[in-house]
Structure 1
Amino acid sequence: MSNVDRRTVIRGTAAAGAALAGTGLVRDPAAAARARRSRPLGPAQPLDGRPAPAFDYSRANKLPREMTGYWEKAFTIAGAARTAKVYISPETPIRSYYTVLAVPDGVDSTDFLRRTGWRDVADARGEGLFLLEPGAEGWGDAVTERGYLDAAMAFYQANSYFSIFGEHYLVGYGAGAGPLEAWAAAFPLRVISQVYLDSTGLPADYLGGIGPLEFDGRTEGSYTDVVFPDGFDLIRHDEVVLPTWHINPRRTASFSVSYWRRANDAEAHGRRDGVLGVVHEQRRGSQRWMTSYSGPISQVAVQDRPLSYWSPRTTRQIVAFLTFYSRYENFFAYGNQLVQRADYDRLDVEVRTMEVAGYAREYLVHVPDSARRRWGRRAPVVFVWPGNTQTDRVFFDSAQWWKVAEREGCIVVTVCEQYSASAISVSHRDSDVFFRQLREVMLREYDVDPTRFYSTGQSAGSAVTQNFALAKPEYFAAVASTSFAVAPSPAGTVEIDGVTYPSAKRPIPTYLIYGYGDLAFQEGDLWDDIDNRLDAWAAYHLGVNDLGLEDVDTRAGRRGGWKDRFRTWTWKDRSSDVPMVKLTNNLYRSHNNIPEETPLLWEFLRHYRHQVTRKGRVLRTFSPSGFQRRGDEVEIPS
């Protein structure tokens, strides 16, 4: 299968233990867990009426210290008082992964966190927990609990106290499993993976009503709606792959198991696993949209024997199953992708900090083993700028640059933004200073090729990359980014970090990918009647290369990718025949990038090298082989 062997998802307690360390946030999770056990959890503190936390600039990409701990949120549902709990570990980053737990009937949540080991897991992984709790009479059925689930999940997904990754792990216990599973079936794009213990499942009429519902091309906010061609098959709810594990399901759960097997396009016959039970793997020839990049990595497992709620071993096994996966894009189905989550420890991803303009900033450095094998002591480096509010950790998984790095041997440096509108959100600032400091770190501490430094980014991160291309093209050999086109102002200037620079008016190999349903100022293509920022971006880069729109390789665009979703245009330097400007429209996505685009960006970048002379002249070359063959470099006229 593509990229990963599904049989490595979980291998008993060894894999379960590794799952605790998989984030790379804590190198010795067992020691961290032992340290936490001696500290009583105490009663949950109320969030109602509490002011939003203050900025905590002493912590790089962490939720403010005042928000770490154990909290309670109150709700009134149909006149009845209900509550939910939140546990935020001391090292929880901004927009961390969270696990949503539906606590079983008759159980104290505080005792549940302690005895099951969920609190220790959260502390060891530097993640958060959101606990859904039964009412005074216990859990109701999926229909009667919908009001509580909607209210609690709406608060959890958007509030002033903490921020989340945007996709969720779900675990339902006993009578709480059904209501949580019902929410997952209604909102499958928001769920990474799910586990249910002792569930009675969902009735056939409920699943039969949700399954046929289709996802259309409507987008949200300032984005453009996607218009599908005639005869296009829309994705149904019951075609969204969602890894699922049912532990000791009741006989009435057979409809649920069948539903998820169908949604995951799973094999009819399962294989036996010592921990998971019977595992139905996604078919190898599966055509599900959500695994178009990763291949058939999903699965539905059924363990017929019960596992103890109160055993930390059970919790570790659940964590191992859930966290093999990640997912991104929680509202537009055709950009939603299930992927393998990066294991920081296995990949040896470094979580580093430095002071930038007086503030602590985080960044990730991934040096794959393939870098030394392929490039010796001169590996290329890709500087990655995430989108607005996307931390380095969010984008590391969603863009899957680590997969490209493992295969191609490039070093990936992923930037984290700084606090912006609130203490639980981030945005780009001091990007020029940050890059110059990062460049010095890479030159001083790593085996890199300074002639092959590249920049990429998504949305606001694309704006950073593209502004560097306009004002400081000497920084990089080439740039390639997604979902944000920029161009000089009418006065010919560029603004970076609030500082105005003149555009350099010098060529740099440039590639941009955007979505059909992207930001409104990128609507359409370069040949329509809409004059917007996309046209201005092209006009600038074509102009500095002495090219015109008519010099394109084909006006129709070259089609490729999953369902021919990519429509690509290329402009080449006239004298050297080297690609200098490239544009791709992803016909079936909204604003957020998809991991299938990441290899396209690298395929463009990897061919370029540049040097800056003492007099400031930039010399660029192009290698058809990506510097794999000696003597094939072509000089690009400057």
Structure 2
Amino acid sequence: MLQGTAALAATTALTPLAAPATAAGPGPGLGEAKPLDGRPYPAYDYSRANKLPREMTGYWTTSFDVGGTERTAKVYISAETPIRSYFTVIAVPDGVDTAEFLRSSGWRAVADQRQEALFVLEPGPSGWTGAEPEAAYVAAALGFYQANNYFSIFGESYLVGYGTGAPALEAWAVANPLKVIAQAYVDSPGLSDTYLASYASREYDGQTAYTPVEFPAGFRLVRYAETVLPTWYITPDARRVAASLAYWKRANDTVAAGRHDRVLGTVHRQRPGSNRWMTSHAGAVSTVAVQPHRATTGQIVAFLTGYTRYENSFAYGNQLYERADFRRLGIEVHTMQVAGYVREYLVYRPRSARRKAPVLFVWPGDSQTDKVFVDATQWWKVADREGVVLVVVCEQYSRTSVVVSHRDSLTFFRRLRDTITARYDVDPTRFYSTGHSAGSGVTQNLAIAFPEYFAAVASSSFPAAPNAAGTVTLDGVTYPARRQKIPNYLIYGYGDIQGFVGTLWDDTPNQTDSWARYHLGVDGLTLADVDTVAGRRSGFHDRFQTWTWYDTSARVPILKLTRNLYRSHNTTAEEPPLLWAFLEHYSGETAADGTVTRYYSPSGFRRPGDRRRI
């Protein structure tokens, strides 16, 4: 493993990311689009860390048979576009050449600056024919966009529609609001009352991709027309757009009176105290605006990219957030050689971090990547508030060349630990680990096999326990369970993967039961030692049901479990504050023989001398 300055040499300089959204010059032409149809899927490109394969960068075209008519869409992937990049979906106006439009409007330059990508919907031979007649084409094109092996997307998208192409894209947003981060429409005539009403009263049920969520008696289901979705109309047809504007103002729960903004025009902000599900964590952050004058592409980008959201298939876990501005925050993007492969990782040392700051190692879920996970979890906001240094791991190419998953995790962690210790002013006694799904599996297995590495761990949606032979597996290698105490907290969803759900008191044994059995045994506790069998309720709509076990000698929390009653498997940023509130109280000192002495501080080490030995 690396030591001292050798560790520093293993990392590259900071990579620029998310450049400011200023109006860009037109730049050079795109040339003729290369065909995707029938093209072999791209090969693995191990020369790049967390990038789409180099052969996929550039300007592409693909086609669809829609009712016997061939329709096309374009894709532009900038040279440094990462895996699961943010995409902006653009519906170009009638009568333009798409390549020239992307050049002259500055969209191609914006994608290059931001290291992102574009997916472009195009009119048919007779031009755009209206929202409903175009539904089959938009569905076919966006179906390909959302799931293919040529490129991968963040999972939520920005939408921009121009002219008569705008209603077709807006209609898709009305029907699929969980999949849209924010939207802007230029010169749009809007949608009809009839179309909007056909979706407004539809309700989101408890079906998930994993386990159905059962709502309590009297629970009020959320409607499509209550899905918060930031929206900006620019030079709209004022008379015809009225129905659309009213729909999105209602969906965003805006105040009645708009306020003037020099760039956005008349702005209707989400009502303070709004109880919308999609902003239950971030607060009233959404906006609906109408600008009767022209706006630049840079201004549109600035509006859209102020937002992010996550969870596109289950409404009650879907949340709208502020997007992290890497440049403004100073989030560093580094690479490192790990087991012969170049790997990416992020470091965020917030201004609030003082000398000897704690460090949280973050392991994203399968396919999530470091950049996806920063926004999806909002860990950066926890770091800002608490002064903790974040180190976010990125995975390696896995089942296709445009997807990643965990690999060489133990080797990666050891090198990262030494690099971070050498490069930053941090406290090695307060190293913590967290993760979600597959990343939780890494965290939990490390806690079992190498408990001396962390003062405490806290993760979500993947428990782990030793097998019958008393071992766990990391990167295909088995390691014995050390059977040493380590403070541990796990959160999972009611609608999570079937092998995790239920409670520890039901009649169905599963992986969560095995996780609890192992750690309770190591801690010298039993299931009956829990603080309350019913679980303590907290959070929005009392969504968190939490059980806690206390160390018998020190009388401090040693094991904790929370069930989120209103989410599926995917992560939600409501949980990291809970995870950190557990982690921050622990430290651990490792002796030369590997023995760990652990401490608990009620103040989270803010008050000198209040720690006590566990």
Task: Mark yes or no: TM-score above 0.5.
Answer: yes
Q: How does 1:138-287 map to 2 (within 5 A)?
A: 138-220=127-209, 223-250=210-237, 251-287=239-275
Query: Tell me, what secondary structure is at the counterpart of 1:150?
Result: helix
| One-letter amino acid of the counterpart of residue 591, structure 1 | H
Query: Tell me, what secondary structure is at the counterpart of 1:521?
Result: coil
24, 27, 44: which one aligns with 1:37? 27
User: Is residue 69 from structure 1 mapped to residue 58 from structure 2 by the alignment?
Assistant: yes
User: Is residue 399 from structure 1 mapped to residue 377 from structure 2 by the alignment?
Assistant: yes
Q: How does 1:591-602 map to 2 (within 5 A)?
A: 591-602=569-580
Deviation at 1:575, TM superposition (A): 1.0
| One-letter amino acid of the counterpart of residue 90, structure 1 | A
450, 459, 470: which one aligns with 2:437? 459
User: Is residue 492 from structure 1 mapped to residue 454 from structure 2 by the alignment?
Assistant: no
Contact residue 162 and residue 188 of structure 2 kept, 8 A: yes
Corresponding residue for 2:17? Answer: 25
Task: Compute the TM-score of the two structures, normalised by the length of structure 2.
Answer: 0.96
Tell me the C-alpha RMSD between the 2 structures.
1.3
Query: Tell me, what secondary structure is at the counterpart of 1:382?
Result: strand
Q: How does 1:355-394 map to 2 (within 5 A)?
A: 355-372=337-354, 377-394=355-372
Residues 361 and 546 (structure 1), Cα distance of their counterparts in 2 relative to 1, 3 Å cut: same
Corresponding residue for 1:511? Answer: 489
User: Is residue 562 from structure 1 mapped to residue 540 from structure 2 by the alignment?
Assistant: yes
Distance 1:180 1:388 in 2: 30
Residues 273 and 27 (structure 1), Cα distance of their counterparts in 2 relative to 1, 3 Å cut: closer
Tell me the percent identity: 63
1:207-257 Cα deviation digits (max 9, x unpaired): 01101000000011xx11100001101010000000000111111110000
1:480-507 Cα deviation digits (max 9, x unpaired): 0000011100111100011000101111
| One-letter amino acid of the counterpart of residue 289, structure 1 | W
Deviation at 1:275, TM superposition (A): 1.1
Contact residue 22 and residue 298 of structure 2 kept, 8 A: no
Deviation at 1:579, TM superposition (A): 0.6
| One-letter amino acid of the counterpart of residue 82, structure 1 | R
Distance 2:96 2:83 in 1: 30
User: Is residue 332 from structure 1 mapped to residue 324 from structure 2 by the alignment?
Assistant: no
1:587-610 Cα deviation digits (max 9, x unpaired): 000001211101000000000000
Deviation at 1:151, TM superposition (A): 0.2
User: Is residue 520 from structure 1 mapped to residue 498 from structure 2 by the alignment?
Assistant: yes
Corresponding residue for 1:103? Answer: 92
272, 286, 291: which one aligns with 2:279? 291
Deviation at 1:41, TM superposition (A): 1.5
Query: Tell me, what secondary structure is at the counterpart of 2:298?
Result: helix
1:20-45 Cα deviation digits (max 9, x unpaired): xxx942669999x77x935x411000
| One-letter amino acid of the counterpart of residue 109, structure 1 | T
User: Is residue 349 from structure 1 mapped to residue 331 from structure 2 by the alignment?
Assistant: yes
| One-letter amino acid of the counterpart of residue 69, structure 2 | A
Query: Tell me, what secondary structure is at the counterpart of 1:290?
Result: helix
Distance 1:356 1:323 in 2: 33
Distance 1:123 1:299 in 2: 27
1:291-329 Cα deviation digits (max 9, x unpaired): 01110000100112344xxxxxx1000000000000000
Distance 2:18 2:263 in 1: 26
Distance 2:435 2:594 in 1: 26
Corresponding residue for 1:80? Answer: 69
Structure 2 regions of 5+ residues with no counterpart? 1-14
Corresponding residue for 1:302? Answer: 290
Corresponding residue for 1:16? Answer: none
Distance 1:529 1:615 in 2: 42
1:544-577 Cα deviation digits (max 9, x unpaired): 0000000000110000001100000000011110
Task: Compute the TM-score of the two structures, normalised by the length of structure 1.
Answer: 0.93
Distance 1:300 1:27 in 2: 25
61, 75, 80: which one aligns with 1:91? 80
Deviation at 1:363, TM superposition (A): 0.4
Contact residue 353 and residue 362 of structure 1 kept, 8 A: yes
Corresponding residue for 2:12? Answer: none
Corresponding residue for 2:123? Answer: 134
| One-letter amino acid of the counterpart of residue 349, structure 1 | I
Distance 2:16 2:279 in 1: 25
Structure 1 regions of 5+ residues with no counterpart? 1-22, 308-313
1:363-396 Cα deviation digits (max 9, x unpaired): 0000000002xxxx20000000000000000000
Contact residue 22 and residue 299 of structure 2 kept, 8 A: no
Query: Tell me, what secondary structure is at the counterpart of 1:389?
Result: coil
| One-letter amino acid of the counterpart of residue 326, structure 2 | Y
512, 533, 554: which one aligns with 2:511? 533
Distance 1:479 1:275 in 2: 45
| One-letter amino acid of the counterpart of residue 262, structure 2 | G
1:385-426 Cα deviation digits (max 9, x unpaired): 000000000000000000001010000000000000011000
Contact residue 21 and residue 301 of structure 2 kept, 8 A: no
Query: Tell me, what secondary structure is at the counterpart of 2:353?
Result: helix
Distance 2:591 2:501 in 1: 40
Residues 26 and 516 (structure 1), Cα distance of their counterparts in 2 relative to 1, 3 Å cut: closer
Distance 1:66 1:440 in 2: 35
Distance 1:628 1:163 in 2: 43
430, 442, 445: which one aligns with 2:423? 445
User: Is residue 579 from structure 1 mapped to residue 557 from structure 2 by the alignment?
Assistant: yes
| One-letter amino acid of the counterpart of residue 345, structure 1 | R
Distance 1:76 1:116 in 2: 29
Distance 1:471 1:49 in 2: 47
Query: Tell me, what secondary structure is at the counterpart of 1:296?
Result: coil
Distance 1:208 1:113 in 2: 34
Query: Tell me, what secondary structure is at the counterpart of 1:585?
Result: strand
| One-letter amino acid of the counterpart of residue 362, structure 1 | E
Query: Tell me, what secondary structure is at the counterpart of 1:284?
Result: coil
Deviation at 1:81, TM superposition (A): 1.1
| One-letter amino acid of the counterpart of residue 169, structure 1 | Y
Contact residue 24 and residue 343 of structure 1 kept, 8 A: no
Contact residue 511 and residue 604 of structure 1 kept, 8 A: yes
Distance 2:608 2:476 in 1: 43
Residues 482 and 28 (structure 1), Cα distance of their counterparts in 2 relative to 1, 3 Å cut: closer
Distance 1:30 1:524 in 2: 50
Distance 1:248 1:607 in 2: 54
Query: Tell me, what secondary structure is at the counterpart of 1:413?
Result: strand
User: Is residue 428 from structure 1 mapped to residue 420 from structure 2 by the alignment?
Assistant: no
Deviation at 1:535, TM superposition (A): 0.4
Corresponding residue for 2:4? Answer: none
Contact residue 242 and residue 260 of structure 1 kept, 8 A: yes
| One-letter amino acid of the counterpart of residue 534, structure 1 | T
